[in-house]
Amino acid sequence: MAKRDFLLTPGPVNVPRRVALAESQEIIYHRGEEFAELLQRVDAKLKRVFRTQNTILYFTSSGTGAMEAAVTNLLSTQDEVIVVEGGKFGQRWRELCHAFGVKHHVIQIEWGRAVRPQQVAQALDAHPNASAVLTQLSETSTGTVYDIEQIARITNERDVLLVVDAISGLGAVPLEPDRWGVDCVVAGSQKSLMVPPGLAFVSVSERAWERAEKSDLPKYYWDFKAARKNLYFTPFTPAISLVMALDEALDIILEEGLENLLARTELYAQATRAAIHAMNLQLFSERPGPVCTAVRVPQGTEWERDFRDAPQGFSDQDLGRPRPPEGEDLAHWAHRRHRGQRRVGHHWGLGADATQAGTPVRAWGGGACGPRGLQESPTVSLWSVRHFARAQSGNLPLHS
Amino acid sequence: MAKRDFLLTPGPVNVPRRVALAESQEIIYHRGEEFAELLQRVDAKLKRVFRTQNTILYFTSSGTGAMEAAVTNLLSTQDEVIVVEGGKFGQRWRELCHAFGVKHHVIQIEWGRAVRPQQVAQALDAHPNASAVLTQLSETSTGTVYDIEQIARITNERDVLLVVDAISGLGAVPLEPDRWGVDCVVAGSQKSLMVPPGLAFVSVSERAWERAEKSDLPKYYWDFKAARKNLYFTPFTPAISLVMALDEALDIILEEGLENLLARTELYAQATRAAIHAMNLQLFSERPGPVCTAVRVPQGTEWERDFRDAPQGFSDQDLGRPRPPEGEDLAHWAHRRHRGQRRVGHHWGLGADATQAGTPVRAWGGGACGPRGLQESPTVSLWSVRHFARAQSGNLPLHS
């Protein structure tokens, strides 16, 4: 497994050793007081990362499960909603509404662009019966961050529910659900929280609870009311070992401090973007955020061939190589790293072949990969894709 | 955590060290070939434990999630089904049908009794439009095992789908889906498979796939067709660390051999029942199986007080202390133990206060707890509840 030391994906991310060890502790019984105390402790800490006082519900599932929970609990058969679709995960909101027969109006955004809050206002004007807006905080497939604060201003003016998929965004992109008025925030364990996948979270505001009381869409496993009733035990057997892991991961986050973590992630993202500019490569997103940076792979270059040949897992296959516009490839690098990974920076694998990109880039150099190095000279620490691919296949050491 | 060395619950069960270590390995990316190879390997082994060649689908959820998946994929709005309800988990089938608006006829079994195959035949005669029977293999809340082989004979004669919740039963109770003709078997990671909770499995026969093609109930996360399409990647981010743990746990099971494991579990169960008889205590179930043994707690005894005062987690709180008949308590002991736990046997906590139960029982004796000891003298190795409670609270060593 050593060859897979560094994941470049927004999630799963590498799990700190402390978290992995917590995960492998002796299992405790989820109907005992010890579990309830554990989940209460986790809940208090998670609320600090969510920056909310709203109820947080816990589901054993991927983030998509929690998105389904939000749809089936907050909406009803007669509802109309607005869906922001600017990438693969906006598409998922649309597909969920379709699956459960909820009438939905899509704000179709060209992939890589950010929804303008004004577009949300216009959609709500055009569909005055719309009861909710479903959107992303960070659309992972394009690395684009949306302006949730401004969107919340619009939904709050109209008493419309705002449901935000922050699965990749939470803990990377600033988000203030209570201050801004975000009714429902969906997140998952395997992104910024540095826990293996399998747990998902949904925060539910008072206004959202009112909707949940009236919702008539079918649900059982995702039932918000059952989840609230059994808040610190969860209604069905929870992923106990992942809750133990989360307990430790939240300690790591709060020891660093959420603000410091957000600032560090943003710094990595900015350095990456600076490096991309320095290489004359093109960012894909018009409003790139700290979750991940998407760059167009220059067609016809050696890098393109490397990219195509790279072992799966090198680039974010989770995104299904969305390839907009037609015929192009996107490469993504995620920027969320735990502090133990700082020394090698977040630039693993980033970098076109210097010659192909026409920019002098000191490839192979790993010496200055820490944040300081990135600040001083963002182009110094780029590694060629090929180097990464070779290192992954075991022919080269990962630390050179 | 040391005080929680032994769980008495059907699930979660104690996780062998090898499995816990596998779980804490470096995370791999679930869209890479390495993960597909892992899940393929797991799948081949799990099919041997399921004793089926049918497709097995993987869900990141508790077992209940997989029950919901079976309902929403195999049934349609116009369907009528037969539900066997002889305990808390039969109730769950009923609640799921209710939640998704599926017309259901309940065979109501007194808790602790096993459904007679003849009752299933009668229900199908009375409701000739019924398209499926939903039942348990082992009804965990009462420790009762149903005769799935005979029930399958009846459903096969009539081309009715047979859906079996084997969440606690798989790997403890003999089950032959392909030989008997069971269309859908639901299981979970945290029971006999000795993995932490968070993964669930559904096997799907060809006949069941035909139903799935026509099903019109709403689903997204649970969609069988999406799961089959992405079989070795799963459609949404899977609980990767639990899949790694499962890989190891299946090795442990297959090293011992499924037949040996079933025989060992059955031996523990039989020894427990012999011990209960020897103590003049009453079994709760008329057809007790190897998953867990339920015994009526004699009212007005010291044991009853101990039972009520016992730390949570000692008895199976998961069962919600079902207490049928009215006013009684049930104690459960699960019998599924991995081999490393053999030395201390499975009798932890079993045993009424000898004086109260009116039977000479050598309480406190832990010397003969292995299977051999149990066979020779099933009453020798009983521990008093109080001893267990004290040991748990740290005042006594667990091994005396």
Instruction: Please state, for a pLDDT cut of 70, what percent of chain A lies above it.
Output: 74
Which residue in A49, A91, A51 sits closest to A67, CA to CA?
Answer: A91
* Dist. CA A138–CA A289, nearest whole Å: 7
Determine the CATH number of domain A17-256: 3.40.640.10
Nearest residue of B to residue A101 by CA position? B218
Query: CA of B98 to nearest chain A CA: how many angstroms apart?
Result: 9
Q: Please indicate whether residue B377 or residue A231 has the higher confidence score (pLDDT).
A: A231
Cβ <8 Å between A198 and B313:
no
Question: B94 falls in which pLDDT band (50, 70, 90)?
Answer: very high
Peptide bond between residue B10 and the one before it cis (omega within 30 degrees of 0): no
Mean pLDDT taken over chain A: 81
Question: B157 falls in which pLDDT band (50, 70, 90)?
Answer: very high
Q: Please indicate whether residue B81 or residue B277 has the higher confidence score (pLDDT).
A: B81
Is residue B226 less than 8 Å (CB to CB) from chain A? no
Q: What is the mean pLDDT of residues A86-92?
A: 94
Q: Angle at Cα A52 formed by Cα A47 and Cα A53, nearest 5°? A: 85
B327: its two tokens = 């006013």
Of A204-218, A258-272, B94-108, B118-132, least confident by mean pLDDT is: A258-272
Mutate to test the interface with A, among B59, B236, B247, B315 (most CBs of A within 10 A): B236
CB A150 within 8 A of CB A180: no
**Bridge partners, A138 (sequence order):** A145
* Dist. CA B96–CA B107, nearest whole Å: 15
pLDDT of residue B370: 33
Interface of A with B in 11-70 (CB under 8 A): 11-15, 20-21, 23-34, 60-65, 68
Is residue A129 less than 8 Å (CB to CB) from chain B? no
Instruction: Please state, for a pLDDT cut of 70, what percent of chain B lies above it.
Output: 74
Among A298-302, B2-6, B234-238, B297-301, the range with the most confident prediction by mean pLDDT is B234-238
Look-up: residue for tokens 């309940």? B106
**Which residues of chain A neighbour B316 with C-beta distances below 8 Å?**
31
Mean pLDDT taken over chain B: 81
Residues in chain B, overall count: 400
According to DSSP, residue A298 is labeled P
E strand residue ranges, chain B:
55-60, 80-85, 103-108, 130-136, 138-139, 144-145, 161-165, 184-188, 199-204, 292-297, 329-334
Answer whether residue B4 shows pLDDT above 90. Answer: no
Q: What is the mean pLDDT of residues B124-128?
A: 98
pLDDT of residue A9: 77
Question: B2 falls in which pLDDT band (50, 70, 90)?
Answer: very low
Nearest residue of A to residue B241 by CA position? A196
B157: its two tokens = 């004669």
pLDDT of residue B319: 33
Show the DSSP H helices in B115-196 as ranges.
Answer: 117-126, 148-157, 177-180
Cβ <8 Å between A196 and B21:
no
Phi and psi for A10 in degrees, rounded to 5?
Answer: -60, -25
* Dist. CA A332–CA A314, nearest whole Å: 9
Q: Angle at Cα B68 formed by Cα B63 and Cα B73, nearest 5°? A: 125
> Mutual orientation of helices A63-74 and A88-99 as an angle, nearest 10°?
40
First to last CA, chain B: 19
Question: A321 falls in which pLDDT band (50, 70, 90)?
Answer: very low
Alpha-carbon separation of residue A212 from A74, A99, A165, A217 (angstroms): 5, 19, 18, 10
**Which residues of chain A neighbour B15 with C-beta distances below 8 Å?**
26-27, 241
Peptide bond between residue B325 and the one before it cis (omega within 30 degrees of 0): yes
Query: Per-residue DSSP letters for B165-181?
Result: E-TTTTTTS---HHHHT
Look-up: residue for tokens 């192909």? A356
pLDDT of residue B307: 58
B131: its two tokens = 């398209």
pLDDT of residue A370: 33
Nearest residue of B to residue A89 by CA position? B236
CB B183 within 8 A of CB B162: yes
* Dist. CA B141–CA B287, nearest whole Å: 13
A298: its two tokens = 């220059």
B110: its two tokens = 């007194």
Q: What is the mean pLDDT of residues A300-322?
A: 49
* Dist. CA A109–CA A144, nearest whole Å: 11
Q: What is the mean pLDDT of residues B318-344?
A: 60
- In three-state secondary structure terms, B84 is strand
Answer whether residue B368 shows pLDDT above 70. Answer: no
Cβ pairs bridging A and B (under 8 Å): 215
Question: A280 falls in which pLDDT band (50, 70, 90)?
Answer: low
Question: B350 falls in which pLDDT band (50, 70, 90)?
Answer: very low
Answer whether residue B257 shows pLDDT above 80. Answer: yes
CB B252 within 8 A of CB B194: yes
Q: Please indicate whether residue A343 or residue B189 has the higher confidence score (pLDDT).
A: B189
pLDDT of residue A372: 34
* Dist. CA A272–CA A285, nearest whole Å: 13
Alpha-carbon separation of residue B164 from A88, A169, B98 (angstroms): 36, 40, 18
* Dist. CA B270–CA B264, nearest whole Å: 10
Cβ <8 Å between A7 and B27:
yes
Query: CA of A277 to nearest chain B CA: how many angstroms apart?
Result: 29
pLDDT tens, B216-229?
999 999 999 999 99
- In three-state secondary structure terms, B293 is strand
Q: What is the mean pLDDT of residues B324-336?
A: 69
What element of type H or E holds B208?
helix B206-214
pLDDT of residue A14: 87
Q: What is the mean pLDDT of residues A36-57?
A: 98
Answer whether residue A399 shows pLDDT above 80. Answer: no
* Dist. CA A61–CA B68, nearest whole Å: 13
pLDDT of residue B107: 98
pLDDT of residue A318: 34
Question: B64 falls in which pLDDT band (50, 70, 90)?
Answer: very high
List the single residue in B4, B62, B317 with the smallest CB-CB distance to A28. Answer: B4
For A137-172, what is the HEC assignment? CEECCCCEECCHHHHHHHHHHCCCEEEEECCCCCCC
Of A83-87, A279-283, B234-238, least confident by mean pLDDT is: A279-283
pLDDT tens, A157-176?
999 999 999 999 999 999 99
Torsion sign, CA atoms B189, B265, A244, B17: negative
**Bridge partners, B58 (sequence order):** B201
Query: CA of A346 to nearest chain B CA: how many angstroms apart?
Result: 17
Which residue in B227, B229, B199, B36 sits closest to A242, CA to CA?
Answer: B199
Q: Angle at Cα A64 formed by Cα A60 and Cα A69, nearest 5°? A: 70
**Bridge partners, B332 (sequence order):** B294
Determine the CATH number of domain A257-392: 3.90.1150
Cα dihedral B90, B91, B97, B100 in deg (nearest 10): -140
B396: its two tokens = 């006594």
The separation between CA A125 and the C-alpha centre of its own chain, rounded to angstroms, equals 30
Question: A278 falls in which pLDDT band (50, 70, 90)?
Answer: low
Sequence ranges of the domains in chain A: 17-256, 257-392
pLDDT of residue A308: 61
pLDDT of residue B396: 34
Q: Please indicate whether residue A140 or residue B126 has the higher confidence score (pLDDT).
A: B126
* Dist. CA B272–CA B283, nearest whole Å: 10
Q: What is the mean pLDDT of residues B201-210?
A: 98
* Dist. CA A66–CA A61, nearest whole Å: 7
Which residue in B181, B160, B176, B170 sits closest to B74, CA to CA?
Answer: B160
Answer whether residue A254 shows pLDDT above 70. Answer: yes
CB A153 within 8 A of CB A125: no
With 0-12 / 13-18 / 19 or more C-beta atoms within 10 angstroms meaning exposed / middle / buried, residue A36 is middle
According to DSSP, residue A27 is labeled P
* Dist. CA A100–CA A120, nearest whole Å: 23
Of A268-272, A364-368, B32-36, B232-236, least confident by mean pLDDT is: A364-368
Q: Which amino acid is at B161?
A: L
Q: Please indicate whether residue A236 or residue B295 has the higher confidence score (pLDDT).
A: A236
Answer whether residue B110 shows pLDDT above 80. Answer: yes
Which residue in B325, B333, B324 sits closest to B385, CA to CA?
Answer: B333
* Dist. CA B391–CA B400, nearest whole Å: 10
Look-up: residue for tokens 């179930």? B285
**Which residues of chain A neighbour B31 with C-beta distances below 8 Å?**
312-313, 316-318
Is residue B198 less than 8 Å (CB to CB) from chain A? yes
Q: What is the mean pLDDT of residues A81-86?
A: 97
Question: B311 falls in which pLDDT band (50, 70, 90)?
Answer: very low
**Which residues of chain A neighbour B197 with C-beta distances below 8 Å?**
30, 60, 237-241
Cα dihedral B226, B231, B237, B240 in deg (nearest 10): 160
Nearest residue of B to residue A321 by CA position? B31
Cα dihedral A247, A250, A252, A253 in deg (nearest 10): 180
* Dist. CA B243–CA A6, nearest whole Å: 19
Question: A365 falls in which pLDDT band (50, 70, 90)?
Answer: very low
Exposure letters B160-191 (e unless 16+ CB within 10 A, then b) = bbbbbbbbbbbbbbbbebeebbbbbbbbbbbb
* Dist. CA B231–CA B246, nearest whole Å: 16
B303: its two tokens = 């044991």
Cβ <8 Å between B32 and A237:
no
On the question of a common fold for A17-256 and A257-392, the answer reads no
Answer whether residue A317 shows pLDDT above 70. Answer: no
Q: Which CATH architecture has domain B17-255?
A: 3-Layer(aba) Sandwich (3.40)
Is residue B9 less than 8 Å (CB to CB) from chain A? yes
pLDDT of residue A394: 40
Q: Within 10 Å of residue B359's Cβ, how many Cβ atoms?
A: 17
pLDDT of residue A236: 96
**Which residues of chain B neighbour A9 with C-beta distances below 8 Å?**
29
According to DSSP, residue B283 is labeled B
Is residue B367 less than 8 Å (CB to CB) from chain A? no
pLDDT of residue A61: 98
ipTM confidence:
0.88
